[in-house]
């Protein structure tokens, strides 16, 4: 393992954007996600991430109630606004009168509802700008494709916002390779956001399409919603992971045991399991930027240090071989 010595984090290109190689996902900073949180603690976490060199912050109008997460991110980072890339998403915080368009999403949620009809998109962006306390959204994603609205129409509405200077870049979240290609033909996509971690391989076709089109990848839940840190015990009441079969007592223990060889490699390298999980992701593609979340400054500093880790090719090969053989119990997070 070799480490960079200067204080700043290495950067990566996501389409036209240049961001720290590891970003910060703010979802965990709203109540009801993964454990206790209050706004003072949340603001300390955001500042710790900025102080440790993160320049890519991910939120959504759907995190927390009534724009809570966007307000928090905007407030905490106001003085750093010009140093950071603010990414947010729309579709879950329904406009007044907007009908919820429901769709199934597997085990953890069962069903979600969005409305990404182009007639509402400008209103969503204006609300997000207000909550974030800024005059521009650097990266704007429909959080999920709307099952009742052609994605090209939603994308066309974001393209207008880009033309008008309210938004800088278009992102897509939770899409297929086909949806990425179709949307990119309407307006260039800078970033596609997808779940990707040691316990959830990225969709190979989506990654191939992103590479071919020059689209960056933001990897969500890069620590497996905390599992890959090796530190998640019994999940408490009010923690959303209670809805995720991978975290029920039997599956969590079985999965924890199966990941022992991965934690062994981390120990061998003098890394924490979280650092190895993030470094492994960074080695998968030069245009992937994981966006781990945390309420805890010490964890945030630990995680961001993984941006400076170089894994020897032999270690990456060993890890890939282990991961190929590692069965995960409990379905997927989404
Ligand atoms: N587009 C989408 O649909 C979508 C879906 C899910 C998530 N996301 C994005 O992805 C971001 C990250 O995903 P995520 O929050 O689900 O999961 P994650 O980053 O994989 O894991 C977060 C959890 O890991 C724990 N953790 C982090 N670093 C740690 C460390 N070094 N040691 C021990 N524990 C550590 C945190 O606990 P502590 O707070 O105790 O550190 C937290 O509970 C979100 O914030 C959101 O921005 C997007």
d(CA 247, CA 172): 28
* Ligand 1 neighbour 198 (Cβ under 6 A): no
Q: 63, 124, 140, 141: which one is catalytic? A: 63
Regarding the beta carbon of 30 and ligand 1, being less than 6 Å apart is answered no
Q: Verify whether residue 63 is a known catalytic residue.
A: yes
Specify if 277 maps to a domain: no
Query: Do the domain assignments include residue 291?
Result: yes
Say if ligand 1 is within 6 A of residue 199 CB: no
Asked if residue 70 is part of any domain, the answer here is: yes
- Cα separation of 157 and 64, whole Å? 25
Residue 198: burial class (beta carbons within 10 Å; 0-12, 13-18, 19+):
buried
Q: Which atom of ligand 1 is nearest to the CA of 60?
A: 47
- pLDDT tens string 287-313: 999 999 999 999 999 999 999 999 999
**Residue among 59, 172, 256, 292 to mutate when testing ligand 1 (max atoms within 8 A of CB):** 292
What digits encode the pLDDT tens for the residues 199-244? 999 999 999 999 999 999 999 999 999 999 999 988 888 888 988 8
Identify whether 152 is part of a domain: yes
Residue 8 lies in a domain: no
How far, in Å, is the centroid of ligand 1 from the Cα of 295?
A: 9
Among residues 108, 85, 84, the alpha carbon closest in space to that of 221 is found at 108
* Domain membership flag for residue 6: no
pLDDT at 243: 87
Structure token pair of residue 334: 């989404």
- pLDDT at position 1 over 90: no
Residue 7 has pLDDT above 90, yes or no: no
In angstroms, the Cα distances linking 28 to 1, 38, 42, 151, 207 are: 30, 11, 9, 28, 26
Per the structure, the count of domains in the chain is 1
CATH of residue 176's domain is 3.20.20.100
The residue-averaged pLDDT of 99-114 equals 87
Which residue range forms the structural domain that includes residue 100? Answer: 19-227+284-309
Tokens of 41: 């603690």
Q: What is the CA(225)–ligand 1 centre distance, in A?
A: 5
Q: Which atom of ligand 1 is nearest to the CA of 219?
A: 10
Ligand 1 near 290 CB (within 6 A): no
The response to whether residue 294 sits with its C-beta less than 6 Å from ligand 1 reads yes
With 60 as the cut, is the pLDDT of residue 6 above it? no
Find the 227 Cα to ligand 1 centroid distance in Å. 9
175 ligand 1 Cβ < 6 A: no
Q: Does residue 221 have its Cβ closer than 6 Å to ligand 1? A: yes
Q: Residue 160 C-alpha to ligand 1 middle, in angstroms?
A: 32
Distances (CA, A) of 265 to 128, 254, 274, 280: 42, 19, 12, 11
For the Cβ of 226 lying below 6 angstroms from any atom of ligand 1, the answer is yes
pTM, two decimals, is 0.97
Instruction: Report pLDDT for 205.
Output: 98
What is the pLDDT confidence band of residue 15, given thresholds at 50, 70 and 90? confident
Asked whether residue 236 is domain-assigned, the answer is no
pLDDT band at 2; cut points 50, 70, 90: very low
Q: Whose CA is nearest to atom 31 of ligand 1?
A: 299
Reported as a pLDDT band with limits 50, 70 and 90, residue 106 is confident
Domain annotation covers residue 82: yes
């Amino acid at each position: 393992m070799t480490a960079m010595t200067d204080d700043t984090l290495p950067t990566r290109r996501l389409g036209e954007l240049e961001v720290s190689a590891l970003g910060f996902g703010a979802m965990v900073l709203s109540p009801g996600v993964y454990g206790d949180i209050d706004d003072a603690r949340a603001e300390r976490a955001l500042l710790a991430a900025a102080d440790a060199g993160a320049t890519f912050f991910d939120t959504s109008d759907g995190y927390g109630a009534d724009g809570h997460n966007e307000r928090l991110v905007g407030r905490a980072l106001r003085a750093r606004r010009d140093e950071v890339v603010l990414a947010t998403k729309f579709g879950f915080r329904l406009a007044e009168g907007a009908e919820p368009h429901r769709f199934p999403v597997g085990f953890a949620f069962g069903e979600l509802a969005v409305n990404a009809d182009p007639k509402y998109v400008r209103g969503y962006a204006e609300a997000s700008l207000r909550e974030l306390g800024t005059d521009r959204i650097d990266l704007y994603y429909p959080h999920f494709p709307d099952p009742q609205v052609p994605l090209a129409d939603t994308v066309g509405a974001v393209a207008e916002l880009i033309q008008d200077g309210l938004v800088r870049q278009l992102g897509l979240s939770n899409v297929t390779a086909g949806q990425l290609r179709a949307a990119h033909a309407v307006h260039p996509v800078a970033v596609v956001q997808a779940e990707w971690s040691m316990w959830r391989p990225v969709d190979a076709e989506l990654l191939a399409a992103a590479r071919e089109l020059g689209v960056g990848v933001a990897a969500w839940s890069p620590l497996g919603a905390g599992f890959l840190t090796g530190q998640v015990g019994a999940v408490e009441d009010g923690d959303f992971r209670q809805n995720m079969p991978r975290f029920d007592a039997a599956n969590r223990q079985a999965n924890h045991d199966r990941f022992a060889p991965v934690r062994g490699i981390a120990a061998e390298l003098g890394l924490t399991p979280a650092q190895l999980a993030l470094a492994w992701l960074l080695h998968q593609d030069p245009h992937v930027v994981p966006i781990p979340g945390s309420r805890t400054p010490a964890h945030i500093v630990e995680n961001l240090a993984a941006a400076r880790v170089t894994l020897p090719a032999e270690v990456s090969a060993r890890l890939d071989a282990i991961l190929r053989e590692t069965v995960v119990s409990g379905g997927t997070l989404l």
